Structure 1
């Protein structure tokens, strides 16, 4: 086994990012009584899944399914005229968090959405399902398509982060061989979670620059020695040989440069306006980056006027600090128009979180995304 000696102290270099604090809105209620829609089979492919706009990173696997559909029955050819659509499940619920998240994953899978991810926060004062154990459960519902979770990287020790990723990726690839496991990274915010996890918020930009290469080396099977993090020939016992994608989050210039340098994808913010997206994509691609995934919150349903009214009401009451214009709202028709606009701005994938305050509304949004 090769050894990688990483001697650089992050305190001697690197830079910090800025991050916008977005208040978290919790969903309430019991699991919906809405049944998961059975997908009608048409030939080889489910009808609703035929509409899925798949991710660019999975293009080679998708092309193989055109020759041998049995090779990956849930991974479909992509339509490059619109971005791919994935779901980012909310982990904050007043009651029944686990049941609500499982049901949303089931509905999103039945709707044909292209990827599933969940977030990462710590020292929460409200019920919050932690990322790695919750994703382990959700992988039982999400087979054949990319899945993963966010890591607020400066809050994680590199060996612990690599061990969690290694086990989750092995679980994912056991059921979905050849399908990417997604690792999203962010620098985090909030003094409390940094203090209570023994991390220094002022060093977060430098720390994330140091942690990502170490975790990658550990997942590649290398033994890592690092003075700053106290690693002495550290290794990860359970790893996967399957593909792992790194989605690097942030909107500051240094974060965009980091995404081009260390990632497979730049992961944009739900608060970015069109001009920020345009400038960011130009910078990212000039630095050698290619794929861009944008987070967006959404309230969708067959009644466009009603859902747009709800979205406006939510934002006026302070939903995640976002203006109305940043939410996807309306029906499938309005959604298609907006997705086309985002594609023209350079967005390859849109990762949607349900903004509806109840489970029934969230399920309607997920089903509308699949139309």
Structure 2
């Protein structure tokens, strides 16, 4: 296809309690930098005891690394102040030029987080779209005046502005989300989709972009990839992963969302590439015994597929 396939990684939870996430995050980003992994993507899980806010975690990672790209996978936007989000992204881009990869979502992944991002009843999508417009304007223009339904700005600015406007990727899976990406986004980061679904979603995004007089770059389509490592296939970890996948997609056989081992992950990644996706965030489908072992396996088994 002539497009660059890039493979990053998400959080790698390990077995046992992790009361202090600081050393765990330090170990993760240090290992990723040492392994020359393309990117790290931190999840927005407010109520998780084993996670830090992605903006804080990525700023921390920026200070420990020189080449690792930094992605939000994904940041819940409705319920956050978009001006503050833009200021945080501008600051991070100044600390790590060319390495910040913002991706936004409409709804929290955890049910327990739903009340932590308050928006008017039934208006989450509208708030998201206006908030996204505010973030984009503040990251692009020196001075912004915006009088919308939900946000009011008069001669507002954040800085320093990125030398090149940041690409704003969006998550989602349903047709309404694909239409939104085509109208407003710069890329798509999917989760819990099959290659066949990804192919259809990409076509929907491209059509929506054409209808809006826009164009999304050909290599700005990606997805998360859930892997159960070979050494966990005969353990309860596989059953746990399938239960979690079923909870996220009750309409689909969870076996279609989990890669049973690294050979299956390689095959699934190739199927996604054939469907037009070239950016990947690999995550263990459940906790692993050792981050270092998982990363060693990841770099051996999947990194050679980068182009």
Give the TM-score of the pair, scaled to structure 1.
0.67
Structure 1 residue 141 displacement after superposition:
3.2
Contact conserved, 1:278 with 1:346, CA < 8 A, in 2? yes
Q: Are 2:6 and 1:84 aligned?
A: yes
CA contact (8 A) 2:77 2:104 kept: yes
Q: Report the counterpart of residue 219 of structure 1 in structure 2.
A: 139
Matched, 1:188 2:188: no
Aligned to 1:208, which of 119, 124, 128?
Answer: 128
1:186-222: CA deviation from partner (whole Å, max 9, x where unpaired): 0014676454444235211111111112111111123
2:173 counterpart of 1:251: yes
CA distance in 2, matches of 1:151, 1:91: 19
Shift of 1:359: 5.0
Structure 2 residue aligned with 1:137: 60
Contact 1:180–1:245 (8 Å) recurs in 2: no
Q: Does the 8 A contact of 1:249 with 1:267 survive in 2?
A: yes
Seen in structure 2, the aligned counterparts of structure 1 residues 312 and 213 have a Cα distance that, compared at 3 Å, is same
Q: What SS does the corresponding residue of 1:244 show, helix, strand or coil? A: coil
3-state SS of paired residue (1:99): helix
CA deviation profile, 1:36-71 (whole Å, cap 9, x unmatched): xxxxxxxxxxxxxxxxxxx95xxxxxxxxxxxxxxx
Query: Residues of 1 paired with 2:13 and 2:207: CA distance?
Result: 35
Residue 335 in structure 1 maps to residue 265 in structure 2: yes
- Following TM superposition, by how much is the alpha carbon of 1:159 offset from its aligned partner in structure 2, in angstroms? 0.9
The counterpart of 1:326, out of the listed 242, 257, 262, is 257
Partner of 2:279: 349
Pair 1:199 & 2:119 matched: yes
Segment drifting more, 334-343 vs 155-164: 334-343
Does the CA contact (< 8 Å) of 1:181 and 1:243 recur in 2? no
CA distance in 2, matches of 1:97, 1:225: 38
Single out whichever of 109-118 and 306-315 deviates more from structure 2. Answer: 306-315
Query: Structure 1 residues 342 and 283 mapped into 2: Cα distance closer, same or farther (>3 Å)?
Result: same
State the alpha-carbon separation in 1 of the partners of residues 268 and 62 from structure 2: 30
- How far apart, CA to CA, are the structure 2 residues paired with 1:265 and 1:102? 29
8 Å Cα contact 2:146-2:154 kept in structure 1: yes
Larger Rg: 1
- The number of aligned residues is 279
Structure 2: 5+ residue stretches without partners: 210-215, 249-253, 301-307
8 Å contact 1:274–1:345 — kept in the other structure? yes
Q: Deviations over 1:120-160 (max 9, x none)?
A: 233x1634311211111111233224313232111211211
**Aligned partners of 1:257, 1:141: CA distance in 2, in Å?**
38
Matched, 1:309 2:230: no
User: Does 2:284 correspond to 1:365?
Assistant: no
Question: What is the CA–CA distance in structure 2 between the aligned matches of 1:167 and 1:224, rounded to whole Å?
Answer: 21
Q: Under a length normalisation based on structure 2, what TM-score does the superposition of the two structures give?
A: 0.80
DSSP 3-state at the match of 2:146: strand
Gaps of 5+ in 1: 1-54, 57-77, 174-178
DSSP-derived class of the 2:96 partner = helix
| Distance change (3 Å), C-alpha of 1:112 and 1:309 | farther
Q: CA RMSD in A?
A: 2.7
Matched with 1:4 is none
Aligned to 1:171: 95
Q: How many Å apart are 1:339 and its aligned residue? A: 1.6
